[in-house]
Chains A and B, each alone.
Chain A
Amino acid sequence: MVKLLLVITVVAVLLVIISFLSPIGKKVSLYVVLGLIALIMLLPFFMMFVMATLKTNEIYSFPPIMWFGSNLGENFKNMVAAVNFPRSFLNSVIVTCSHVILVLFFCSIGGYAFSVYDFPGRNKLFAILLATMMIPATAGIIPWFIMMSKFGWVNDFKALIIPSCANAFGIFWMRQYCQNNVPKSLMEAARIDGCSEWTIFFRVIAPILKPAYASLGIMQFVNMWNEFMQALIILRKEKLYTLPLMLRSMVSDRGTDYGAVMLASTCAVLPLLICFLSASKFFMDGLTAGAVKE
């Protein structure tokens, strides 16, 4: 441990010295720092891909093998024998997509109503909505679970999909967006044309909200796709497992077949990762939306 710290300190001191010597040195040392951290961020992903192609005894060898092997086919067979991957993938898709669709629907009509209708009690109701965001959900977790079992929702996707489908943050987010992007004159015009309020929303307003749908949708999708704790206490049957639960079931004290697990992890993680890499700016804006635009 001491040696490790020593090495880190020496490298850091060297970088600082270099950066004082010349502007180019400064630039180089900044790139070195950024690059090293980028390597640390990428290493676990890289090792996951590598281990998905290695034999078990290769994974347990020392020093560790850090390049691709030839055991991908065998690992695939072991994975198929151990878990029902397509089923879990489908479960994840069902839970996540239905949750996201409901969230987008309920939050957009709610946010829209708060932004354009001047109904009595609006400010008070909105203050209540904001207050609910301050309360940690942990407080009610035990009665929540008891309720789910009384409803018969244990081992039922409904328990994951429905309770949070009209959430306060989403409504708040949609209201902000509507206030900045929905001109009231547009509604007035549609009203004069004789559209019902319902048609106005779906025909005129919803298309304007597309960017807001995208960021809120991404945020909810990523969270639900990776949801573990709620899924763990609700879904106890193997055929209902979502991807995180399936992965968890492959790891145990009795020895983990890392080759198969890493392949399964790769398959579980890759679709979202590819989406992220192809539209990273979009994802980062969506996932940090709550923080930057207060």
Chain B
Amino acid sequence: MRRVKGNKKGFLQTLKEYRVAYVYIAPFYILFAIFGLFPMIAGLFLSFFRWDGLGQMHFLGLGNYINLFKDTLFWKALSNTLVIGIIAHIPILLGGLVLAYILNSKLVKGQNIFKTIYFMPMVTSAVAITIIFQNLFGFNYGIINYFVSLLGEAPINWLGGDGKLIKVAVIVMFAWKWVGWNMVIYLAGMQGISNDIYEAAEIDGASHSKIVFSIVIPLLKPIILFTLIQSSIGMFNLFTEPFILTNSNWGGGPNNGGLTLMTYLLSKAPQGGNAYGYASSIAYVITFMVIIISVVLNKVMEEKDTVKRKGGK
């Protein structure tokens, strides 16, 4: 604005001239440096040490990471997290897309009512939701076993037994909670697609599945990618639901069936345990996996894009 190009000014003078702007943006950089950047670097540093939080720090090199790979509980937590995350993505992705497509078609009315109902879980405390589901999944009294009994089956011990079915309960909750969020985002994306495109396709005699796969999904790709990355981050941070479902058990309930990476990390430190270095190495493994997933998803989406374009030519 007031700056003239080619007229070199001193650093202090520029600082003075744009003082207001620098003051306005400073809080973010200061807070990020203290509460974001510093802990991140310190976390990497700490992951190479053994430290109980008080005494001397012992340098271990990659020791924590090597121990982690030998730690059966870590593998259990990792596989639980991945199983829950990957299976739960099927209903929230497909369900979200199908529901959005139905609501976007002119066949049904009351779009806003359905949208509102499907979105309700997103404004509700995860703790409250989990407590309700804990009751619904109850062995001798829960409503879900009531439906099971209507089908003539014996009641299922969802939250107890050998602990395997805790994951099913978490998946159900995860899907129940996120399907509406995905649906609302996909619907907004679909409404952004011009009606002319749909009409042209319908005139050309394209079926609904054809429209979905060749028009809607390719156009929604950036949005789908966004929701996928968001929910994968959500998957690795999965903690509240299994934790409350197992009555605040840091081991994840019977046979560690509900132990997730985040629960395991927090159980090492600062909750109960004091293996700060070890916990930091778990945190870095989680971070690393989140980054890998984001990069892979980006790559996969890009590749499909280029293949299609080449095929088109």
Contact = CB atoms under 8 A, between A and B. Distances in A.
Contact of B117 (A26, A41, A164, A229): A41
Q: How would you classify the secondary structure of chain A's contact residues: helix, strand, loop or mixed? A: helix
Contact of A144 (B35, B266, B291): B35
Interface in A1-25: 1, 3-4, 7
B240 A229 contact: yes
Point out which of B53, B180, B287 has the most chain A C-beta atoms below 10 A from its C-beta.
Answer: B287
A142 B43 contact: yes
B248 A251 contact: yes
Contacts, number: 299
| Chain B, interface residues (CB within 8 Å), range | 35 or more
Nearest to B261: A138
Given A258-B135, A281-B112, A273 B120 contact: yes
Point out which of B38, B127, B146, B248 has the most chain A C-beta atoms below 10 A from its C-beta.
Answer: B127
Nearest to A250: B131
A225 B124 CA distance: 9
Point out which of B36, B41, B140, B237 has the most chain A C-beta atoms below 10 A from its C-beta.
Answer: B36
Contacts of B105: 30
Given A62-B141, A138-B237, A272 B270 contact: no
B132 A262 contact: yes
B126 A228 contact: yes
Contacts of B240: 228-229
Q: Which 7 A-B pairs have the closest CB atoms?
A: A140-B39, A113-B24, A117-B21, A143-B42, A163-B35, A119-B18, A143-B39
Interface of B: 1, 3, 14, 18, 20-22, 24-25, 27-29, 31-32, 34-44, 46, 53, 95, 99, 102-103, 105, 107-108, 112, 114-129, 131-136, 138, 140-143, 145-146, 148-149, 151-153, 176, 180-181, 184-185, 188-189, 192, 222-223, 226-227, 230, 233, 236-237, 239-240, 244, 247-249, 262, 265-266, 269-271, 276, 279-280, 283-284, 286-287, 290-291, 294
